Amino acid sequence: MRLNLLLLFCLLNLSVSAQMRPRELGIKIGVLPTGKRNAITDVAGVRVGQVTLIEGADIRTGVTAIIPHSGNLFQEKVPAAIYIGNGFGKLAGYSQVEELGTIETPVVLTNTLNVPTASDAIIDWTLGQKGNENVRSVNPVVGETNDAFLNDIRGRHVKKEHVLNALAQAEGGAVQEGNVGAGTGTVCFGWKGGIGTSSRVLSQKLGGYTVGVLVQTNFGGVLKVNGVPVGEELGKYSFKESLDKSSDGSCMMIIATDAPLDARNLKRLAKRVMLGMAQTGGIAANGSGDYVIAFSTANRVLHEAAEPTFSASYLHNDYVSPLFLAAIESTEEAIINSLFMAKTSEGTQGHKVEELPKDKVLEIMRKYGRLKK
């Protein structure tokens, strides 16, 4: 009996360790310190809600919602910018953000064919908020990746109630990663991808600002973990055998900060997020929709202005470089987190995607002297 209990205890420990984040396993990415949760929710006020849909053999999809603050977001918009790394995607809401430099709704991530459904749900959510009784125009921001390899995407199984549920349960605590929400059916570097998040906190000397990133990973390339050529070592990477479409896919990257940035500097920050993706070996292939949505919680832009002018304090250009580094590091770690926290998944048409072989990855990291413990 004691032996059986000991065996069960060991198996449980193995199961838990198999889903540990890379930082917990001794892989320390970057030089800047993380926030308390090492998540986008380390930016005060930011909330995340997720709904995961796993049904039968065919449904592997979901919704991830990011809400910048707890107030009436339409009435108190946040400065924002969107950068397109590669535009093979169906991002809704881009043009108004580009034109006005603000976001007035939550950012919702889902699968490609459910972008209209998610948009409709955001409109309902916004119109239903107290104070929005006279609103006649809403710009929902919805991003996507195509999860059709594991999910019956043509079934369009994400419904309005799922999106509304994700919005309703959004909270500022820990963020689930891996096969959850909009990352339920995604594939990254040939292994199971998903949702990942990370954050960085600057020293008081550098402003004391926090930067948080959340990613939905569904793209290809040649995987690198903290600079180590893991994909090459494992013999699994795009174009290894022939010029196929294994590198196609998408990556949605959401970056939040409490630094007082205007839309122009938020777009500059968003550009650096693509450098973080590149650090992991992503190549922004032809068929990849790689978008970065950046927003700041430091200043709010009122929908109804009492005066024709308004004033706000924004960070000077000379002080944004540390934020650039924070964005790069947070993105790199968020992507790697999405891989480490994902589990093997079987889906529609019998398709199966294996999780990243963490034990082998750790051996490779040790071989290159990049494991801290």
Residues annotated as catalytic (active site), given as ranges: 250, 288, 290
3-state secondary structure of 337: helix
3-state secondary structure of 365: helix
CA dihedral 70, 72, 73, 77 (to 10 degrees): -110
The span from the CA of 256 to the CA of 267, in Å, is 12
The span from the CA of 65 to the CA of 166, in Å, is 6
CA dihedral 148, 81, 37, 163 (to 10 degrees): -40
287: phi then psi, degrees, rounded to nearest 5: -90, 20
- In Å, the largest CA–CA distance within the chain is 77
DSSP codes, 246-301: TT-EEEEEEEEE-S---HHHHHHHHHHHHHHHHHTTB---TTEEEEEEEEESS--E
